[in-house]
Amino acid sequence: MINRFKKYKRFSYLGVTAGIMLSITSCVPSLSEKTASKEVPGNYHNSQDSLATKSFNSADTTSSASIDWKTFFDDPNLIALIDTALENNQELNIMLQELKVAQSEVQARKGEYLPSIGLKAGAGVDKVGKYTRDGAVEENLEVKEGKAFPDPLPDYMIGLNAQWEVDIWNKLHNAKKSAVMRYLSSVEGRNFMVTNLIAEIANSYYELLALDNQLQIVKNNIEIQERAYRIVKLQMQAARVTQLAVSKFNAEVLHTKSLQYDIQQRITETENKLNFLVGRYPQPIARSTEAFATMLPKQIDAGLPAQLLQNRPDIRQAEFELQASKLDIKVAKARFYPSFGISANIGYQAFNPDYLLNTPESLIYSVAGDLVAPLVNRNAIKAAYKTANAKQIQAAFDYEQTVLKAYIEVANQLSKIDNLKKSYDLRAAEVDALTESIKISNKLFRNARAEYMEVLMTQRDALESKFDLVETKMQQMTAVVNMYQALGGGWNKD
């Protein structure tokens, strides 16, 4: 009857414990996750891309991300600048340290679900009172054994201790997976930074070439204006024009000369910007200025919008962040459940070093397990769970926004490249017409068949048109670079 009562009592304890655990696990707040949409349009709006009707897996689709930047750019001076920047750029090197931090976080998370074993050694001394329980025990043993215990009593110990939290709910494994996702996100962030750095260097380099050409245009125009100025002074001496014409021509020459110093300042600033991106102190930038006028924008295959999901580093970065945020929810949810831990110790302990390694007399060991679950005041766990859920929704919106931004960037660049080509052809024709008009106006002015203001306005219009032509050429080159960047090119898969 007594045994039956003890058995009933034991089962009742188990039932109460199980009921408490069930009540704990059933009180997890119910929250909803957001699934990010990965659907993109089949082609780029208003795009003339012939690949828009081809399937995504078509073998003849060529994405910019498959083209290495050393192959895409054919200017050796630009390639040398980019190569140096990838080694010396401070911002990129800072990002590399962030990668190491993320990698260390993965190792730390991995170590959390593995058993930890430590070596423990110690020594001490203990003096107990005679009229205490320990004192009475020692005195009783002295009487029985006939040996006196040391007073005070030394204590020596050496052994191993182990701690292990059994990952029942995959809390620790999911935390490790989340750290891996964030490490991969950091890698993609570094790739995205490389893409932006290469594009910024290339755009600044083409801007520098454009400024060099504009400076040469100004110098050539100054020579033309000075020749006209000398002619008008001779005509004033011959009483064919007044001092007003001479002053106007002189003012135009002075105005054009002032432009070259503005351009030279912009050249200095652009050179210093390039040197900063390369990670070095100001120095002359090697460049091929003469080749700028004959540069032709590269033809880039835009491919399909769906390829952006694979080629754009920022999209993959957002995707890894989204996956990590989903794992964070699982980790936060698992904190509501009981955690099971195991601890074990084994070693030797004795009051005399001579007896310390005696086996089995001095051998000590222990094994214990504990089950711990949050029961009262779980506000902190609930808040962490809600925070993780909110961040997951935030990551989903961020992913969708990144995809949308990438699509619009490519669509804009496709339209820009097409419009700039048409604009450049018209501006080139305008420059040819105005260059011819300068010759005609000067000839007419020498024959007194044109006013000096017509000559001045023609020269000014020609100068502006040449500036605009160089500016359009620079915009063409940067539009191609931006297109290459928007499609996800610039970083190296290897």
For the beta sheet containing 363-372, the strands, ordered from the edge strand earlier in sequence to the opposite edge, are: 116-126, 153-166, 339-350, 363-372
Distance CA 486, CA 476 (A): 15
| Residue 143 reports pLDDT greater than 70 | no
CA max distance for the chain: 144
Instruction: Judge contact between 24 and 375, C-beta under 8 A.
Output: yes
Across residues 381-392, what is the average pLDDT? 92
Q: What pLDDT score was predicted for residue 2?
A: 43
pLDDT band at 460 (very low <50, low <70, confident <90, very high): confident
Q: What pLDDT score was predicted for residue 1?
A: 46
Share of the chain above pLDDT 90, in %: 43
Burial environment of residue 193 by CB neighbours within 10 A (0 to 12, 13 to 18, 19 or more)? buried
Per-residue pLDDT tens digits for 211-222: 999 999 999 889
pLDDT band at 278 (very low <50, low <70, confident <90, very high): very high
pLDDT band at 5 (very low <50, low <70, confident <90, very high): very low
Distance CA 162, CA 493 (A): 43
Distance CA 229, CA 63 (A): 56
120-166+339-372 domain in CATH 3.90.190.20?
A: no
Across residues 321-327, what is the average pLDDT? 95
* More confident position, 29 or 230: 230
> CA angle 399-403-409, nearest 5°?
140
Per-residue pLDDT tens digits for 287-312: 988 889 888 888 888 888 888 888 89
Nearest Cα neighbor of 439 from 428, 450, 429 is: 450
Q: What pLDDT score was predicted for residue 109?
A: 85
Residue ranges covered by each domain of the chain = 1-30, 34-113+168-337+376-486, 120-166+339-372
| Residue 124 reports pLDDT greater than 60 | yes
**HSE value, Cβ hemisphere, 13 Å, CA-based, for 30:** 1
Across residues 313-318, what is the average pLDDT? 94
Tell me the Cα Rg of the chain: 40
Q: What pLDDT score was predicted for residue 71?
A: 87
Instruction: Judge contact between 260 and 215, C-beta under 8 A.
Output: yes
| Residue 13 reports pLDDT greater than 70 | no
Q: What pLDDT score was predicted for residue 148?
A: 65
Across residues 67-71, what is the average pLDDT? 84
Residue type, 446: R
Residue 384 burial (CB count, 10 A): 16
Q: What pLDDT score was predicted for residue 108?
A: 87
Q: What pLDDT score was predicted for residue 54?
A: 34
Burial environment of residue 24 by CB neighbours within 10 A (0 to 12, 13 to 18, 19 or more)? middle
Tokens at residue 211, please? 């400024």
* More confident position, 301 or 175: 175
Q: What pLDDT score was predicted for residue 46?
A: 53
Distance CA 61, CA 192 (A): 22
Can you identify the CATH homologous superfamily of domain 34-113+168-337+376-486?
Answer: Outer membrane efflux proteins (OEP) (1.20.1600.10)
Q: What pLDDT score was predicted for residue 491?
A: 66
Q: Which of 243-252, 395-404, 447-456 has the lowest mean pLDDT?
A: 447-456
Share of the chain above pLDDT 70, in %: 87
Using left for φ > 0, alpha for ψ between -120 and 50, and beta otherwise, residue 481 falls in alpha
pLDDT band at 238 (very low <50, low <70, confident <90, very high): confident
Q: What pLDDT score was predicted for residue 200?
A: 95
Q: Mean pLDDT in the chain?
A: 84
Q: What pLDDT score was predicted for residue 50?
A: 39
pLDDT band at 66 (very low <50, low <70, confident <90, very high): low
Q: Which of 137-141, 256-260, 326-330, 421-425 has the lowest mean pLDDT?
A: 137-141
| Residue 228 reports pLDDT greater than 90 | no
Nearest Cα neighbor of 189 from 398, 444, 450, 27 is: 398
Buried b (16+ CB within 10 A) or exposed e, 40-74: beebbeebebebeeeeeeeeebebbbebebeebbe
Across residues 317-331, what is the average pLDDT? 94
- 363-372 and 153-166 strand pairing: unpaired
Per-residue pLDDT tens digits for 389-441: 999 999 999 999 999 999 999 999 999 999 999 999 999 999 999 888 888 88
Q: Which of 253-267, 381-395, 425-439, 471-485 has the lowest mean pLDDT?
A: 425-439
Q: What pLDDT score was predicted for residue 107?
A: 87
Distance CA 399, CA 320 (A): 9
Three-state secondary structure string covering 4-26: HHHHHHHHHHHHHHHHHHHHHHC
Using left for φ > 0, alpha for ψ between -120 and 50, and beta otherwise, residue 360 falls in alpha
Per-residue pLDDT tens digits for 27-58: 677 777 778 888 888 888 654 443 333 333 33
CA distances from 172 to 26, 80, 218, 334, 389 (A): 21, 46, 68, 9, 18
